[in-house]
């Protein structure tokens, strides 16, 4: 029972952190009413995948499912938070010819500690992790908690 409560606490803390990061980062990305500046941001990243992407294109909240399990990624000001059903990881976004994520997970797991952005088009991002997992995530609304998350455990 303690494991269920601890896992639930990790999920809650990760979601709160991800929403806070996404909400804080959304203010700097406001575009004109016509949406012209957003189209320019997605442009460089959409053609050639990760090698042509810039870290700014990754800013914001992303959510999806990998192997039927929820995955949430939030990026703001070069910092990243990744939350899955089993873990919460935090770290940085680096741009060294390719956009990469360098994370450390609270439980010590290394499956999603180093990842490279394979493609990003402003609506979806694909991240390939050194642990062999590949996540395809969709952009979320700023400050919104993504739908389809697992229910919280009850004591």
Q: What is the pLDDT along the chain (155 residues), one digit of tens a residue?
A: 444 444 444 455 455 454 444 444 333 333 333 333 333 333 333 334 445 568 899 999 999 999 999 999 999 999 999 999 889 999 999 998 899 999 999 999 999 999 999 999 989 999 999 999 999 999 998 766 655 555 555 55
Distance (Å, whole) CA 116 – CA 105: 17
Contact partners, residue 135, CB within 8 Å, separation at least 6: 64, 66, 71, 73, 112, 115, 126, 127, 129
């Amino acid at each position: 029972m303690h494991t269920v409560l601890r896992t639930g606490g990790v999920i809650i803390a990760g979601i709160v952190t991800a929403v806070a990061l996404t909400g804080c980062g959304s203010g700097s990305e406001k575009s004109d009413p016509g949406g012209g500046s957003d189209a320019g941001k997605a442009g460089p990243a959409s053609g050639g995948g990760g090698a042509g992407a810039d870290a700014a294109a990754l800013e914001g909240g992303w959510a999806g499912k990998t192997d039927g399990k929820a995955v949430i990624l939030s990026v703001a000001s070069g910092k990243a938070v990744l939350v899955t059903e089993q873990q919460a990881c935090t770290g940085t976004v680096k741009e060294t010819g390719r956009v990469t994520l360098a994370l450390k997970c609270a439980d010590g797991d290394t499956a999603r500690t180093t990842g490279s952005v394979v493609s990003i088009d402003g609506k979806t991002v694909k991240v390939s992790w050194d642990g062999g997992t590949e996540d395809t995530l969709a952009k979320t609304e700023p400050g919104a908690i993504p739908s389809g998350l697992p229910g919280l455990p009850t004591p």
